[in-house]
Amino acid sequence: MKSFLVVSKRQEAFSTIQKCFFQKFRVDKAPNKDAALEILRKKRYDFIFIDVEMLRGAEKDDNYKAALQPFWHLYPGIEIIVMSSQAMIREAVKAVKAGASNYLTYPLNPDEVTYVTESLYDSLIVQSELDYLRDRFWHVDFLEIVRTKNSLMKQVFDKIRLVAPTKSTVLFVGETGTGKGVLAKLIHKHSNRKEAPFIGVHCGAIPDTLLESELFGHEKGAFTGAVRRKLGKFEIAKGGTILLDEVGTITPSAQIKLLQVLHDGTFDRVGGEETIAANARVIAATNTDLKKMCDEGQFRSDLYYRLNVFPIEIPPLRERVEDIPFIVEGILKRLNKFHLKDIHEVHPQVMEAFPQYAWPGNIREMENLMERAYILEPSSVLTPESFPGEIFTSESPTATITVDSSLSLAEVRRKGIEDIERHYLQEILSRNNGSIKASAKVAGISTRQLHKLMTRYGIQKEAFKVSKKSELSIPTR
The yes or no reply on residue 156 touching another protein (CB under 8 A) is: no
> How far is residue 286's CA from residue 289's CA, in Å, rounded to a whole number?
8
Q: In angstroms, how far is CA 252 from the centroid of its own chain?
A: 34
Out of 106, 310, 392, 457, the only residue in the binding site for another protein (CB under 8 A) is 310
Options 309, 442, 443, 466; binder of another protein; rule CB under 8 A = 309
Please, which residue, 303 or 382, has the CB nearer to another protein? Answer: 303
Residue 32 binds to another protein (criterion: CB under 8 A): no
Comparison of 103 and 198: residue with beta carbon closer to another protein: 198
Q: Which is nearer to another protein, 97 or 167 (CB)?
A: 167
SS3 128: helix
Check binding of 166 to another protein (CB under 8 A): yes
* 8 A C-beta contact, residue 66 and residue 352: no
Which of these segments, 45-53, 134-142, 157-165, 464-472, binds another protein (CB under 8 A)?
157-165
Complex with another protein: residue 155 or 426, whichever CB lies closer: 155
CB of 128 to another protein, least distance (A): 23
- Touching another protein, residues 283-302 (CB under 8 A): 301-302
Q: Which is nearer to another protein, 68 or 282 (CB)?
A: 282
* Start-to-end CA span in the chain (Å): 37
Q: What share of the chain is helix, strand, coil (3-state, %, to 5)?
A: 50, 15, 35
| Cβ proximity to another protein, 256 vs 407, nearer residue | 256
**How many of the chain's residues bind another protein (CB under 8 A)?**
12
Q: How far is the CB of 151 from another protein (least distance, A)?
A: 18
Determine which helix (DSSP H) or strand (DSSP E) holds 312, and give its type and residue range: strand 310-313
Beta-strand relationship, 275-277 and 266-268: antiparallel
3-state DSSP assignment of residue 420: helix
378: three-class secondary structure by DSSP: coil
Could you say which DSSP state residue 270 is in? B
Q: What is the CA radius of gyration of the chain?
A: 29
CA 318 – CA 73 distance, rounded (Å): 25
Would you say 158 or 352 has its CB closer to another protein?
A: 158
Q: By C-alpha distance, which of 13, 115, 2 is closest to 54?
A: 13
Residue 167 binds another protein, judged by CB under 8 A: yes
- The residues facing 267 across adjacent strands are 276
Q: Identify which range of 79-87, 128-136, 164-172, 199-207 contacts another protein by CB under 8 A.
A: 164-172
The residue within the footprint of another protein, chosen from 11, 119, 151, 168 (CB under 8 A), is: 168
Q: Which of 223, 305, 445, 449 touches another protein (CB under 8 A)?
A: 305
Is residue 2 within the footprint of another protein (CB under 8 A)? Answer: no
Subset of 407-466 contacting another protein (CB under 8 A): none
Which runs of consecutive H residues, i.e. helices, occur in 198-347? 208-216, 233-236, 252-264, 290-295, 301-307, 324-338
E strands, 122-202, in order: 170-173, 198-202
Instruction: Give the angle subtended at the CA of 287 by the CAs of 285 and 290, to the nearest 5°.
Output: 80
Task: Kindly identify the residues of this chain, within the stretch 182-211, that bind another protein according to CB under 8 A.
Answer: 192
Binding of another protein by 162 (CB under 8 A)? yes
Choose between 2 and 167: whose C-beta lies nearer to another protein. 167
Footprint of another protein on this chain (CB under 8 A)? 162-163, 165-168, 192, 301-302, 305, 309-310
